[in-house]
């Protein structure tokens, strides 16, 4: 919003100089004729530089809820700054969330050898609105599977390959078999990895 106001103002006033003063937290716009400050916007560097990380996770059970929360915890690691986290279920998420994301973490169960219907529905709704503009979007994937998970991994990878998103993991995380507490640590690491990579500008 501030940026839009700022750009409008620049256009209207034929501003020639922008001074960053007071530790970069004010914009002083110098009018061409008057050569004096005519307008000042107070903004924080954080607002301008934050990256948006979208988490879209299907959470149909207490275990899957814990895994999603672990991903969130990792992304919110206090050592990582400048990340705006958006957390949605696939039912809630839509193209507008993807279009504004700098990175995305997908979480799904495996059901009948495939991703959850919820995540598939999400892909169906975002595919064409995002296809052209979000190529290269860094993504991470975790799968909760009672005994396999490979069918889901293949299926998701087929779709994100079509979207030309960029994997940040060598291989998707599959939390396979009986539920174990160590899954939470792995999910937390995934959240941290992507948030830290976005913060550092690696992806
Ligand atoms: C209808 C249904 C189909 C399932 N199909 C698979 C499957 O094909 N492969 C698999 O590994 N797990 C399968 N599961 C197990 C789920 O992946 C698992 O229950 C889910 O991830 C939730 O994990 P939780 O039981 O730890 O909460 C299925 C579960 C349900 C309810």
Q: What is the CATH number of the domain that holds 55?
A: 3.40.50.360
Residues 128 and 150 in one domain: yes
* Residue 179: how many other CB atoms lie within 10 Å: 16
Instruction: Write down the pLDDT at residue 48.
Output: 59
Ligand 1 mutation target, pool 60, 108, 111, 117, most atoms within 8 A of CB: 111
Residues 70 and 99 in one domain: yes
User: Which position has the higher pLDDT, 54 or 27?
Assistant: 54
Query: Using 50, 70 and 90 to split pLDDT, how confident is the model at 106?
Result: very high
Residues 134 and 154 in one domain: yes
Of ligand 1's listed atoms, the one at least distance from the Cα of 178 is: 26
Rounded to 10°, the helix 62-75/182-200 angle is 30
- How far apart CA 21 and CA 28 sit, in angstroms, is 8
Domain that holds residue 26: 2-46
Ligand 1 mean position, distance from CA 70 (Å): 19
Query: Using 50, 70 and 90 to split pLDDT, how confident is the model at 28?
Result: very low
When mean pLDDT is compared across 27-36, 78-87, 91-100, 120-129, the lowest value belongs to 27-36
Number of independent structural domains in the chain: 2
Q: In terms of residues, how long is the chain?
A: 203
Residues 118 and 190 in one domain: yes
Query: Using 50, 70 and 90 to split pLDDT, how confident is the model at 49?
Result: confident
| Residue range 80-109: mean pLDDT, rounded | 98
| Residue range 170-188: mean pLDDT, rounded | 98
Residues 14 and 74 in one domain: no
Q: Is 121 a pocket residue for ligand 1 (Cβ < 6 Å)?
A: no
Residues 37 and 90 in one domain: no
Residues 16 and 60 in one domain: no
Ligand 1 mean position, distance from CA 95 (Å): 27
Residue 7, pLDDT above cutoff 80: no
Of ligand 1's listed atoms, the one at least distance from the Cα of 114 is: 8
Q: Is 28 a pocket residue for ligand 1 (Cβ < 6 Å)?
A: no
- How far apart CA 59 and CA 80 sit, in angstroms, is 25
Q: Is 181 a pocket residue for ligand 1 (Cβ < 6 Å)?
A: no
Can you give the pTM of this predicted structure?
0.81
Q: Mean pLDDT in the chain?
A: 85
Q: Taking the alpha carbons of 164, 170, 176, 180 in that order, is the dihedral positive or negative? A: negative
Residues 23 and 115 in one domain: no
Residue 63, pLDDT above cutoff 90: yes
146 near 116, Cβ under 8 Å? no
Residues 68 and 141 in one domain: yes
Residues 68 and 119 in one domain: yes
């Amino acid at each position: 919003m501030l940026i839009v106001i700022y750009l409008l103002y620049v256009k209207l006033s034929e501003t020639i100089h922008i001074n960053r003063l007071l530790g970069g937290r004010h914009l002083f716009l110098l009018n061409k004729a008057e050569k004096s400050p005519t307008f000042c916007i107070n903004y924080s560097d954080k607002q301008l530089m934050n990256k948006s990380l979208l988490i879209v996770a299907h959470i149909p059970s207490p275990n899957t809820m814990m895994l999603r929360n672990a991903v969130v915890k990792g992304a919110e690691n206090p050592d990582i700054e400048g990340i705006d986290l958006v957390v949605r279920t696939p039912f809630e998420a839509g193209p507008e969330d993807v279009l504004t994301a700098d990175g995305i973490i997908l979480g799904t169960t495996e059901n009948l050898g495939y991703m959850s219907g919820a995540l598939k529905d999400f892909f169906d709704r975002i595919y064409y609105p995002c296809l052209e503009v979000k190529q290269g979007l860094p993504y991470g994937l975790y799968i909760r599977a009672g005994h396999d998970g490979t069918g889901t991994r293949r299926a998701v990878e087929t779709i994100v390959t079509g979207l030309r998103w960029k994997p940040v993991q060598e291989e998707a995380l599959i939390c396979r078999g009986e539920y174990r507490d160590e899954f939470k640590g792995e999910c937390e690491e995934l959240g941290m990895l992507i948030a830290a990579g976005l913060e550092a500008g690696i992806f």
